[in-house]
Structure 1
Amino acid sequence: MMRTLLTLINREFWEQRGTFFNVPLILAGIFVLVAIAFFILSFGQMVDIGSLQSELANQRVADLIPGAFTAIASPFVLVLWLIVFYYFLGALYDDRKDGSVLFWQSMPTSQTQTIVSKLIAGLILAPFCTWVVVMVTQLIILGIASLFLIIHPILPWTALWSAPVILSAWLHIFAVILFQALWLLPLFAWCLLCSAFAKKAPALRAVVPIIVLIILEILFFSQHYFTDFVISRFQYAAEAWRTLSLYGGQLISHQGRLSLVNQIKMPFPLDNIKLITMGIGILLSLICYILAGWFRSRCYDFER
């Protein structure tokens, strides 16, 4: 069973590797080009070394790395969730559209394995691919920043390269991405369900009912439970990233006294209400995944 699941996950990776990697790579190229342009423009420019040194005197350069890495990763994470959104919208619909669902139905694979493989691909593989691209981009930009410090000796360029600081920042970024995935899970599960039964335009099937329900609830009801639930998905996911940005400067121990293990901690703000909300979201997601498997075993037709 595990071997079959791994085969399905591998299939998803090879079919989606272009989407999972190419879009982040394009964004990475833009970042690197901007950094190179800044580096080229720095040639021949007069830099007030004394002013910059005094500005950085009260703060170790290494303390700036988590915040800088978070800023670099932010647009990648935003694009990542757009990629995952469209991936789940087409995950089961495309199989029916090209007829491959009949082939996979003839194979010794269960609907549960298929759904789980797509879940892992969208919520783990896609974030991992983006995370790898982000790390490489950050290292390249860090290298360009080191060249800038070599040309303009404000501080030793080696001050930027602190392995515990860099590793801690990377691990925190990946942890927050996975934490965001938990908050967005119900929306992605709904997209996968729409992908399983839609005969055409699964995006419309996913978005329009939510918008209509929100409008009706606002117009005719005093309590906006559904609206608050949907908004909270984005609100808490954004809050997790904002926490990383604000807390990033405190992740690093002064004088390097703390070990890397001690640095890899982050207080995700989870009170009882948020825990209940997350639990409800996970339960609804499970229902959507079960229904998606049921529809997949019955809905083979679609409209061209």
Structure 2
Amino acid sequence: MATPVPPRAFAPTHPTHRFRLLLRREYWEHRGGILWAPMIAGAVSLLLSVGLLIAGIVVAHKAVAEGGVVQANGVTVNGLDLGTLAQQLTSDDLHQLSEGLTITLALSATWPFLVMIFVIFFYCLGALYDDRRDRSVLFWKSLPVSDTATVLSKVATATLVIPLFATLFAIVIMFAFLIALSIAAAAHGANPFPLLWGNGAVFLLSAQFLAAIPVYAAWMLPTVGWLLLCSAWAKSKPFLWALLVPLALGVASSMTGLLQVIGLERHWLWGNVISRMLLGTVPVTHRDLAYIQDGAGSARELFSIPGIYGNFLAPSMWIGILAGAVMIAIAIRLRRWREEG
């Protein structure tokens, strides 16, 4: 008789491997919002930017043909000879050119981030609700994966994976637009390398965008936590619950003036609580808004690493992180027993 083959022993799956598989699942289930939406938005943005560049060149040629002149530091430049124009630029002019180029590149890359705002918002709203609605939550709970790992994979997707894809597409757009600017400059007699590439604005801005991902991931935790909480709790229409509860709270506090009893402004709740619950997916912090409104600093300082990570010096950042962590913990707890569709 043949001897029985002993059963093979399989090593248990490492938790990091399971978490990576969960992230891959989120990507494949929401690839349209994670990959295609920012890619299409970036392509449209690039086409519009190049179109505006071409239109500007046509208008400039038309103005010169009608007798217009270009002057720089008292020197009249015939036609659109950008090479001669570049030779007349002072150090202050080059600094202003670098600042303008930084702002232009940042604006050219905004479309993927605009799409990202809505993708993260609606992804979080349906992250836990959709599984209960189509009853697939029963299948996923039959797998050896904890509720904590499942919810945290959705948090990581919302705060890190989706912003990473949007940032990468934004960087590609900036490089493509700068290449288009370089071709236009070279076609009109200017050397684009010292003029457009020598200041390193595109490289510095790309590194700063990537470095900003953890900062804005922490900033959006209150919004992600609130939306996941509504997604795990609501029996139907989580969008209405997520929107109406904070708005009703804000309207009630403003109409009654209860916050003034404890020494707070009547509309304090809107800017410090409700905005953090609903608008955290917008990659602009309160500190950034104050910096822009002040208008004293430069664009490089706003996008600099100290400027970005200086957001962690604000108490509102840490309060938001704590509030987001509490709401995420509640969402994990709700997923353990709320299975009805």
RMSD of aligned alpha carbons = 2.9
Question: Using the alignment, how far apart are the partners of 1:82 and 1:163 within structure 2?
Answer: 34
Computing the radius of gyration from Cα coordinates, the structure with the larger value is 2
Give the SS at the match of 1:7.
helix
More helix by share: 1
Could you state the TM-score of these two structures normalised by the residue count of structure 2?
A: 0.75
> What percentage of residue pairs aligned between the two structures are identical?
27
2:266 aligned with 1:227: no
Instruction: Tell which has more relative contact order, 1 or 2 (C-alpha 8 A, sep 6+).
Output: 1
Please name the residue that 1:301 is paired with.
Answer: 340
- CA deviations 1:250-279 (Å, max 9, x no partner) are 589xxxxxxxxxx7543654486x32x222
AA at the equivalent of 1:66: T
* Ranges in structure 2 where 5+ consecutive residues have no aligned partner: 1-14, 73-81
* 8 A Cα contact 1:66 1:166, kept in partner: yes
* Ranges in structure 1 where 5+ consecutive residues have no aligned partner: 253-262
Please name the residue that 1:82 is paired with.
Answer: 118
Give the SS at the match of 1:158.
helix
Give the SS at the match of 1:107.
coil
Residues 1:208 and 1:94: Cα distance change in structure 2 (over 3 Å): same
2:215 aligned with 1:179: yes
Residues 1:15 and 1:238: Cα distance change in structure 2 (over 3 Å): farther
Q: How much does 1:20 deviate?
A: 1.4
AA at the equivalent of 2:272: F
Residues 1:90 and 1:267: Cα distance change in structure 2 (over 3 Å): closer
Select the residue among 25, 29, 35 that pairs with 1:21. Answer: 35
Residues 1:167 and 1:265: Cα distance change in structure 2 (over 3 Å): farther
* 8 A Cα contact 1:64 1:249, kept in partner: no
Select the residue among 125, 129, 141 that pairs with 2:161. Answer: 125
Please name the residue that 1:158 is paired with.
Answer: 193
Question: Using the alignment, how far apart are the partners of 1:230 and 1:165 within structure 2?
Answer: 36
Select the residue among 285, 295, 300 that pairs with 1:237. Answer: 285
Please name the residue that 2:6 is paired with.
Answer: none
Question: Using the alignment, how far apart are the partners of 2:302 and 2:231 within structure 1?
Answer: 41
Please name the residue that 2:25 is paired with.
Answer: 11
AA at the equivalent of 2:193: T
The 4+ residue runs of structure 1 with deviation greater than 6 A are none
2:299 aligned with 1:248: yes
Question: Using the alignment, how far apart are the partners of 1:298 and 1:13 within structure 2?
Answer: 26
My pick for the range that moved more, 5-14 or 168-177, is 168-177
- CA deviations 1:239-260 (Å, max 9, x no partner) are 43775895434589xxxxxxxx
2:307 aligned with 1:266: yes
Residues 1:238 and 1:66: Cα distance change in structure 2 (over 3 Å): farther
Question: Using the alignment, how far apart are the partners of 1:183 and 1:271 within structure 2?
Answer: 9
Question: Using the alignment, how far apart are the partners of 2:20 and 2:289 within structure 1?
Answer: 31
AA at the equivalent of 2:23: I
- CA deviations 1:79-117 (Å, max 9, x no partner) are 312211111001111111222211110000001100110
Question: Using the alignment, how far apart are the partners of 2:238 and 2:180 within structure 1?
Answer: 44
Residues 1:136 and 1:8: Cα distance change in structure 2 (over 3 Å): same
The count of aligned residue pairs is: 289
